[in-house]
Structure 1
Amino acid sequence: MASGWAKDGAVQDQIDSTVEDGIQEARERLKRNGPSLSHCEACEAPIPQARREAVPGVRLCIQCQALEDKRQGHHAGYNRRGSKDSQLR
């Protein structure tokens, strides 16, 4: 049951959109797989063998990966695009 300006099924549309965004993000990460590098492509520091085995296709050392993760940020976990109800809150 929708209320306000939201159409019927708006909540499910938001859930579906959030899931699709998560799948797309995971697919983007998979594209980066390939042979692991022995040295970080950002700072040239050696990447430990254990990390190369644990994370296939690793290209960054732990410190540079942490900076990259912080730079990219993480989404809030839900999607409000297109919801007029959420814009009023």
Structure 2
Amino acid sequence: MADIADFANDLVQERIDQALAARSAAKPILEAASFLFCEGCDAPIPEARRLAIPGCTQCVTCQSIDESREARHAR
């Protein structure tokens, strides 16, 4: 059975959650800058890819290779 301490704890947790949500909402969203050149092969990253995936650091080919390696190691 819940007692007064449990209710107080729930109230405090609710206030903490509200404060954290308000703080997160107030933070400006920083968009990551994309690389102009691939960090894997130094090839230029096309502008369309940089606009579609903000913060990208690799060309499509190198990204595909990395994802293949990760999928193989995840097994």
Larger Rg: 2
How far apart in 1 are the matches of 2:32 and 2:56? 8
How far apart in 2 are the matches of 1:34 and 1:72? 23
Moved over 2 A (4+): none
Counterpart of 1:62 (choices 38, 60, 63) is 60
How far apart in 1 are the matches of 2:65 and 2:52? 19
CA RMSD of aligned residues (A): 2.0
- 1:58 is displaced (CA, Å) by 0.3
| Equivalence for 1:8 | none
Per-residue CA distance 1:41-66 (angstroms, 9 max, x = gap): 01000000000000010000000000
How far apart in 1 are the matches of 2:32 and 2:47? 15
Q: Percent identity?
A: 41
Q: How many residues align?
A: 44
Per-residue CA distance 1:22-73 (angstroms, 9 max, x = gap): xxxxxxxxxxx72100000010000000000000100000000000000011
Aligned positions of 1:43-62 closer than 5 A: 43-62=41-60
Aligned positions of 1:22-33 closer than 5 A: none
Query: Would you tell me which structure has more helix in proportion to its own residues?
Result: 2
Look up the equivalent residue of 1:54 and give its one-letter code: A
